[in-house]
Amino acid sequence: MATLTCRQLSKTYPGGHRAVEALDLTLEAGELMVIVGPSGCGKSTLLRMVAGLEAISGGQLIIGETVANALEPAERGIAMVFQNYALYPHMSVFDNMAYALKLQRRPRAEIERRVHEAATLLGIDALLERRPRQLSGGQRQRVAMGRAIVREPTVFLFDEPLSNLDAALRVQMRLEIRRLQQRLGASMLYVTHDQVEAMTLADRLVVMRDGRIEQIGTPMALFEKP
């Protein structure tokens, strides 16, 4: 049932720095796994290897039943939501959300259906004609999530998605992500610096240190440990 398996996954950067060391990790189907740990412990490197944005130095990445080490990013069935949203400033919200599907040469009707379904799910139907600069931070974050959702990925990756939002909005978006995960039955790997965010979102929590897993378990189990 696992959607994602890392077997002895490693990353050594040119120059010899070992950012991720022989990491074993299994993301179950429908699971929201949150990764925390000090800056520089390898969280982003791990996500980027899973997404195909960073070459894997050793071990195996298995997505579903497929060894994915050599797959192109677009072939992995994975969508990543970034901290800085990475929206195309010159495109409307609709076009931002439709972009990846247009690259895949999906039929127009399917693109429209998927964009409208995602927009409805996120409550941004009324914003589809706007440009990113005409949106609030929270709205931009929703568009970034919409861009991921329309691709109907097997796994969502989140790299500190809420860190540019104010505290109240962060709480609201957390609930939103939880709701989406339940509605979509999605598997999610979620990196954050924010302890509260980690505790409230995670089905399971991974604490990384120096490229390794220091602890893994439910928030409750980890919280109760001395």
Name which position in 3, 5, 10, 44 contacts ligand ADP (CB under 6 A): 44
Name which position in 24, 60, 75, 88 contacts ligand ADP (CB under 6 A): 88
Asked if residue 132 binds ligand ADP (CB under 6 A), the reply is no
Stretch that binds ligand ADP, among 62-70, 84-92, 182-190, 216-224 (CB under 6 A): 84-92
CA distances from 27 to 32, 157, 176, 187 (A): 8, 12, 21, 7
Query: Quick one: which of 226, 223, 214, 224 has its CA closest to 37?
Result: 214
Using CB under 6 A, count the residues that bind ligand ADP. 18
CA distances from 171 to 87, 164, 166, 201 (A): 22, 13, 9, 11
11 versus 174: smaller Cβ distance to ligand ADP: 11
Name which position in 29, 71, 100, 171 contacts ligand ADP (CB under 6 A): 100
E strands in the chain: 2-12, 18-28, 32-36, 58-63, 66-67, 78-81, 155-159, 187-191, 204-209, 212-217
84 versus 172: smaller Cβ distance to ligand ADP: 84
Stretch that binds ligand ADP, among 24-32, 83-91, 135-143, 216-224 (CB under 6 A): 83-91
**Smallest gap, in angstroms, from Cβ of residue 10 to ligand ADP?**
12
Kindly report the backbone phi and psi dihedral angles of residue 121, in degrees, each rounded to the nearest multiple of 5, phi listed first.
Answer: -55, -35
Alpha helices in 52-209 (DSSP H): 93-103, 108-122, 137-149, 167-184, 195-201
Q: Go through the chain and tell me how many residues it has.
A: 226
Name which position in 42, 59, 153, 161 contacts ligand ADP (CB under 6 A): 42
Q: Which amino acid is at 47?
A: L
CB atoms within 10 A of CB 191: 23
- The DSSP call for residue 164 is T
Asked if residue 45 binds ligand ADP (CB under 6 A), the reply is yes
For ligand ADP, the binding residues in 48-77 under the rule CB under 6 A are: 73
Name which position in 24, 40, 70, 136 contacts ligand ADP (CB under 6 A): 40
Name which position in 1, 16, 39, 105 contacts ligand ADP (CB under 6 A): 39
- The footprint of ligand ADP (CB under 6 A) covers 13, 17, 19, 37, 39-45, 73, 86-89, 99-100
